[in-house]
């Protein structure tokens, strides 16, 4: 039960903050991707800086998760072609819909019914990936 | 309440919001040892619905939390400011064409992010904060691609 509450609580904080930052507004995302608005980049850079420093501290202390006791050191993976190819497809989808997975959920919560089409597409894409992986391995 | 609504309907400075989001990334790591990510929640919901997984994992609960937190913002702010249209799509295209492009774009998001091992939050926030080379490369790639594709769309639609 505790892990669920912790995950949902972190999700709620995240959802509240991205909605406040207007990341659910497709026109805002478009302005940022057309480099007319630096907000996204400033937010991402400062978020990563804070989290990077904090995670480094936790890693150095060999911290364990408060719930469950798993090591806090998050994975560091070497670059593979799939990371670039997948990100390429993702980037096109992001630009077409001016939405990405967390803001899509925020749109739904705010009653933007267009998000239902994007969600249907996301689930189709995941299904295609899972189906492909099952056949491939 | 009116004051709360005023604060919430104005974007906070990016350099205030960013560190707060960074703290959420940290909290998820410190509490559960997990890397933040929104796409995994959709995947877990699908895997549960199709019988691939017996129950929701933490990623699904994180996604439910995003829904709840966004709803909370909406209630506290006194409603959504988003209109009935949807960005450049409905301004330039018919409703059916917009819907088709949203499904197609969503499919690229779902398939692409699963392949790349994360979305804007998973790779962009979580993986980059962990210093993962794969996430840093993926983030630079999807940022550059999305910027290029947005300019291409603007060139076509004006």
| CB pair distance less than 8 Å for A121 and B119 | no
Residue B141 contacts residue A84 (beta carbons within 8 Å)? yes
Per-residue DSSP letter, A21? T
CA–CA distance, B120 with A58 (Å, rounded to integer): 23
Q: Where are the beta strands (DSSP E) in chain B?
A: none
pLDDT of B7 reads: 87
Q: Which of A45, A90, A119 sits opposite B142 (nearest CB)?
A: A90
pLDDT of B12 reads: 95
Could you report the per-residue pLDDT of A59-78, keeping only the tens digit for each? 999 999 999 988 887 889 99
Task: Output the furthest CA–CA distance in chain B (Å, rounded).
Answer: 48
Give the up-direction half-sphere exposure of residue B18: CA atoms within 13 A in the CB hemisphere. 20
Which of chain A's residues have a Cβ under 8 Å away from the Cβ of B55?
none
Q: Within an 8 Å CB–CB cutoff, is residue A93 touching chain B? A: yes
Q: Within an 8 Å CB–CB cutoff, is residue A74 touching chain B? A: yes
pLDDT-derived band at A58, boundaries 50, 70, 90: very high
User: Is pTM, for the whole model, over 0.90?
Assistant: yes
| CB pair distance less than 8 Å for B69 and A47 | no
Per-residue DSSP letter, B12? P
Chain A closest CA to B21's CA: distance in Å? 6
pLDDT-derived band at B59, boundaries 50, 70, 90: very high
Locate B79 and state its tokens: 């409603």
pLDDT of B80 reads: 84
Q: Which of A15, A66, A128 sits opposite B66 (nearest CB)?
A: A15
pLDDT over 70 percentage in chain B: 99
In degrees, rounded to 5, the angle at the alpha carbon of residue B18 between the alpha carbons of residues A30 and B132 is: 90
């Amino acid at each position: 039960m505790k892990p669920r509450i912790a995950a949902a609580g972190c999700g709620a904080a995240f959802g509240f903050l991205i909605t406040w930052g207007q990341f659910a507004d497709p026109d805002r995302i478009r302005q940022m991707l057309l480099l007319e608005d630096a907000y996204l980049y400033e937010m991402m850079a400062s978020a990563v800086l804070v989290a990077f420093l904090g995670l480094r501290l936790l890693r150095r202390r060999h911290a364990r998760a408060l719930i469950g006791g798993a090591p806090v050191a998050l994975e560091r993976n070497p670059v593979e072609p799939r990371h670039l190819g997948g990100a390429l497809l993702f980037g096109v989808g992001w630009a077409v819909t001016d939405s990405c997975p967390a803001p899509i959920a925020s749109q739904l919560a705010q009653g933007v019914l267009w998000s239902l089409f994007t969600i249907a597409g996301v689930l189709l894409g995941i299904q295609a990936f899972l189906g492909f992986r099952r056949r491939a391995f | 309440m009116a004051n709360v609504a005023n604060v919430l309907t104005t974007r906070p400075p990016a350099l205030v919001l960013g560190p707060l989001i960074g703290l959420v990334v940290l909290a998820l790591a410190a509490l559960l040892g997990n890397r933040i990510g929104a796409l995994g929640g959709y995947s877990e919901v699908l895997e549960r619905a199709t019988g691939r997984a017996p129950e929701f994992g933490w990623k699904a609960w994180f996604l439910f939390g995003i829904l709840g937190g966004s709803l909370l913002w909406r209630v506290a702010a006194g409603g959504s400011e988003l209109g009935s249209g949807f960005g450049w799509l409905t301004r330039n295209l018919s409703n059916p064409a917009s819907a088709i492009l949203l499904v197609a774009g969503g499919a690229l998001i779902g398939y692409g992010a699963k392949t790349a091992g994360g979305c804007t939050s998973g790779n962009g926030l979580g993986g980059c904060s962990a210093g993962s080379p794969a996430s840093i490369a993926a983030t630079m790639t999807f940022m550059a691609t999305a910027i290029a594709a947005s300019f291409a769309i603007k060139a076509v639609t004006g």
